[in-house]
Amino acid sequence: MAAPCAAFRFRGTTAAVVPAGADGVRLDLAVDAAFPKVAPSQFFMLRRSDGGGVLLGRPFSVYLDRTGANGRTLSFLLKVMGPGTRGLSELKVGMSVDLVGPLGQGFPAVAPGERLSCVAGGVGIATFPLVFEAALAAGARAQDLTLCFGAARKEFLYEVDRYRDYGIRVRIATDDGSAGQRGTALDLLREDCKNALLRPHKVFACGPERMLEAVVRFAAEERLDAYLSLETRMGCGTGVCNACAVPVKPASNGGWPVAKACREGPVFRACDLTLEEAHQL
Amino acid sequence: MAVDLSVSFAGVQFANPVFSASGTYGHGLEMSHFVSPAKLGALVGKTVTRRPRPGNAPPRMAETPSGMLNSIGLENRGIEHYRKEVLPTLRGCGTRVISNIGAESIDDFAFLAEQLDSEDGVSALEVNLSCPNVGGGKLPFSTDCRNAEAAIRAVRERTRKPILAKLSPNVTSIAEIARAVEAAGADGITAINTLLGMAIDWRRRAPMLSTTVGGLSGPAIKPVALRMVFEVARAVRIPVVAAGGVRCADDVAEFLVAGASAVQVGTWNFVDPTGIGTIVDDLERILEAARVASVRSLIGSLRSPAPVRFEQADALVER
């Protein structure tokens, strides 16, 4: 049977709501929580303590996890998509938010000497700051880490300036050419793969489903070891509602053809996903 | 003054009347890190079927005003896995375990009842006659008195354990179905399962669920559930276990007053995984504040509204 969900439920206080890009915010929550540093791509269910007009919490991967003089702050990057994200984006400083987490399995560790390419589409970037921080902390060289960040237009390159500070390779593409080169994040990865000195050992991807489908196909063609952080509709985040079903190869999942994005994911190895179902991701 | 929260029915004693609802709390100890199982009156498991079922295609869930639609399709690994891998982990968990069984044939209901009859750790069976997300939403066992009766009779013949029949609200008269399962030997009735519903993304001209329709749950359905629990409690002699939109201790008390002997918490477990524990604590607190010594005194205690006659009403009608 499924092991107990080992997450915590606690209350956070809105410390800042900072506009990000054309349609997003960075939500900084002051928390008094003693769990270890969050793994890259682990997530929390967030719900305004006053409900904010919706019933269920919404899942967001942790964008930043900082401990400073004022205590611990968890930050989340969110794009306003519907009533749930709108309510969270309209929080005022001091208002409280209920959190459940940390939840899910994150990206695998990156060994020193391994080249890693992160393919981010739009708000999918939210999962990557912790990836770079964990890799650098584990001894990876900054020049071995590449961010391929793509968006429709430059105003959807949320907080793009943050990544140069890590010293990593930052490559930008937009569909309309308004920033970086014209094209997609996957185009940038494709170019790197043609150069033996840049071809990554591992690829991490997060973004819209069309981009992820393309990454799955490209990874299969190129025999790249790729991992995707998936976004699905979730009811509970804790593994009991069975809403966040992801079709997977049974051999990768204890003989069962359905994985839960909240428990076995949100990160899945590209080759474990059932390809003919990939369009439903 | 300490409040006595214990309830007893179908020959089973429960520490309190707050149970988890099937399909919202896992099969076993999945939620035990948030709330100790010993805190619950009973742990009601997710539906188990004879054979493994992978469930329906995604998307399986959509939020709607004050509620949610689901179409999970009874995803579970089957009775053999449940007996071997799940039930042993529940031994000594500190609360009553109620196993929920589901099937698409009378034979399978009978088979499941027989399989669980010898499981000492199981206090009762809840028979899911009413999942709207299998068999194309036709609800064969909960919309027809003869079928409901046949299913419960088959389970009755194969087990000595108490049986709760979980009924669907998607019927003209839930009281009729309740009387049929009582006659077939059910020891209690769980009411209600989800209401059939639908949500549409009009821009994509597409349903929000892969199965087009699904089951509505959450606070949106609480008034419907209260009404149906009230109707069932008046129609039968066996106890009623309520389910439908419970999110706080006041909701539990309302269902008890309407006639329920215990109350299940479902969708709220998704909103707050610690909520069911809070509800038990709050129930004790609000009853103490209201000077209610025993939760049992609330069961079916609804008073009829006093009759009011409008002045000169007859004269108005006659004119």
Task: Classify B298 as helix, strand or coil.
Answer: helix
CB of A250 within 8 Å of a chain B CB? The answer is no
Angstrom distance (rounded) from CA B57 to CA B263 = 31
- A41-88 pLDDT per residue, tens: 999 999 999 999 999 999 999 999 999 988 999 999 999 999 999 999
Task: Classify A234 as helix, strand or coil.
Answer: coil
Q: How many beta-carbon contacts under 8 Å exist across A and B?
A: 116
Give whole-number Cα distances, A161 to A206, A263, A279, B294, in Å: 19, 32, 32, 63
In chain A, which residues have their Cβ closer than 8 Å to the Cβ of B59? 232-233, 243
User: Residue B60: which of A98, A100, A245 has the nearest Cβ?
Assistant: A245
DSSP string, A106-142: -PPP--TT--EEEEEEGGGGGGSHHHHHHHHHTT--G
pLDDT over threshold 70, residue B174? yes
pLDDT at B305: 83
Instruction: Please tell me the class of the B7-56+71-195+216-316 domain.
Output: alpha beta
Residue with token string 């960075």:
A26
Q: What is the DSSP letter of B226?
A: H
> Taking the domains of chain B in order of start, what are their residue ranges?
7-56+71-195+216-316
DSSP element (H, E) containing A84: helix A83-89
- What is the least distance, in Å, from the CA of A9 to any CA of chain B? 7
- What is the least distance, in Å, from the CA of A84 to any CA of chain B? 10
Q: What is the mean pLDDT of residues B206-216?
A: 96
pLDDT over threshold 70, residue B136? no
A218-242 burial by CB neighbour count: b if 16+ within 10 A, else e? bbeeeebebbbbbbbbbbbbbbbbb
pLDDT at A279: 44
- B145-172 pLDDT per residue, tens: 999 999 999 999 999 999 999 999 999 9
pLDDT at B138: 75
How much is the pTM?
A: 0.95
pLDDT at A280: 45
pLDDT over threshold 90, residue B134? no
Task: Classify B17 as helix, strand or coil.
Answer: coil
* Number of neighbouring beta carbons within 10 Å of residue B288: 13
**Mean pLDDT, chain B, integer:** 95
Torsion of CA A91, A93, A99, A105, to 10 degrees: 90
Task: Classify B146 as helix, strand or coil.
Answer: helix
pLDDT at A277: 46
- B4-44 pLDDT per residue, tens: 999 999 999 999 999 999 999 999 999 999 999 999 999 99
Angstrom distance (rounded) from CA B48 to CA B52 = 8
R_g of chain A, CA atoms, integer Å: 18
Mutate which of A45, A99, A241, A262 to disrupt the B interface (most B C-beta within 10 Å)?
A241
DSSP string, B18-70: EEEPTTSS-SSSTTTTTS-GGGSSEEEPPPB-SS-B--PPSP-EEEETTEEEE
- B73-104 pLDDT per residue, tens: 999 999 999 999 999 999 999 999 999 999 99
- A222-276 pLDDT per residue, tens: 999 999 999 999 999 999 999 999 999 999 999 999 999 999 999 999 999 985 5
Residue with token string 């401990």:
A67
pLDDT at B230: 98
User: Residue A57: which of B24, B27, B271 has the nearest Cβ?
Assistant: B271
Amino acid at A254: G
Angstrom distance (rounded) from CA B98 to CA B166 = 12
Instruction: Please answer yes or no on whether A5 and B34 come within 8 Å at the CB atom.
Output: yes
> Taking the domains of chain A in order of start, what are their residue ranges?
8-103, 116-280
Angle among Cα B43, B45, B48 to the nearest 5 degrees reads 160
Contact assessment for residue B197 and residue B209, using Cβ atoms and an 8 Å cutoff: no
User: Residue B31: which of A234, A238, A244 has the nearest Cβ?
Assistant: A238
A40-79 burial by CB neighbour count: b if 16+ within 10 A, else e? bbbbbbbbbeeebebbbbbbbbbbbbeeeeeebbbbbbbb
Instruction: Please answer yes or no on whether B59 and A233 come within 8 Å at the CB atom.
Output: yes
Q: Which residues of B touch A (CB under 8 A)?
A: 23-34, 46, 52, 54-55, 57-63, 66-68, 70, 72, 75, 77, 85-86, 89, 218-219, 267, 269-274
Strand A245-247 with A258-260, pairing: antiparallel
Instruction: Please answer yes or no on whether B28 and A1 come within 8 Å at the CB atom.
Output: yes
Instruction: Please answer yes or no on whether A240 and B219 come within 8 Å at the CB atom.
Output: no
* Nearest Cα residue in chain A from B89: A1
pLDDT at A278: 45
Beta strands in chain A (DSSP E): 8-20, 24-31, 43-48, 58-61, 64-68, 71-79, 96-103, 116-121, 145-151, 169-174, 181-182, 202-206, 225-229, 245-247, 258-260, 267-269
Q: What is the mean pLDDT of residues A19-37?
A: 93
Give yes or no: B93 in active site: no
pLDDT at A275: 59
> Looking at domain A116-280, which CATH architecture does it have?
3-Layer(aba) Sandwich (3.40)
User: Residue B63: which of A56, A236, A240 has the nearest Cβ?
Assistant: A56
Instruction: Please answer yes or no on whether B75 and A258 come within 8 Å at the CB atom.
Output: yes
CB of A75 within 8 Å of a chain B CB? The answer is no
Q: What is the mean pLDDT of residues A185-193?
A: 97
pLDDT confidence bin for A1, thresholds 50/70/90: low
Amino acid at A154: K
Task: Classify B109 as helix, strand or coil.
Answer: helix
Instruction: Please answer yes or no on whether A55 and B54 come within 8 Å at the CB atom.
Output: no
Mutate which of A54, A234, A240, A248 to disrupt the B interface (most B C-beta within 10 Å)?
A240
Instruction: Please answer yes or no on whether A239 and B63 come within 8 Å at the CB atom.
Output: no
- B216-263 pLDDT per residue, tens: 999 999 999 999 999 999 999 999 999 999 999 999 999 999 999 999
CB of A255 within 8 Å of a chain B CB? The answer is no
* Nearest Cα residue in chain B from A241: B24
Instruction: Please answer yes or no on whether B29 and A1 come within 8 Å at the CB atom.
Output: yes
Mutate which of B20, B25, B27, B30 to disrupt the A interface (most A C-beta within 10 Å)?
B30
Torsion angles phi and psi, residue A74, rounded to 5: -100, 130
Residue B91: exposed, middle, or buried by beta-carbon count in 10 A (0-12, 13-18, 19+)?
A: exposed
Angle among Cα B56, B58, B60 to the nearest 5 degrees reads 75
CB of A10 within 8 Å of a chain B CB? The answer is no
Of the ranges A2-6, B212-216, B313-317, which is most confident?
Answer: B212-216
Instruction: Please answer yes or no on whether A238 and B66 come within 8 Å at the CB atom.
Output: no
Q: Of A1-15, A195-209, B220-234, B277-291, which range is least confident? A: A1-15
Instruction: Please answer yes or no on whether A240 and B26 come within 8 Å at the CB atom.
Output: yes
Which two structure tokens, joined as six digits, stand for B274? 């610690």
CB of A16 within 8 Å of a chain B CB? The answer is no
Percentage of the residues of chain B whose pLDDT score is greater than 90: 90
pLDDT over threshold 60, residue A93? yes
B155-173 burial by CB neighbour count: b if 16+ within 10 A, else e? bbebbebbbbbbbbbbbee
- A201-221 pLDDT per residue, tens: 999 999 999 999 999 999 999
Angstrom distance (rounded) from CA A41 to CA B301 = 51
Model ipTM value: 0.94
pLDDT over threshold 60, residue A35? yes
* Nearest Cα residue in chain A from B271: A56
Which two structure tokens, joined as six digits, stand for B276? 């069911």
Residues A8-103: name the CATH superfamily: Translation factors (2.40.30.10)
pLDDT over threshold 80, residue B313? no
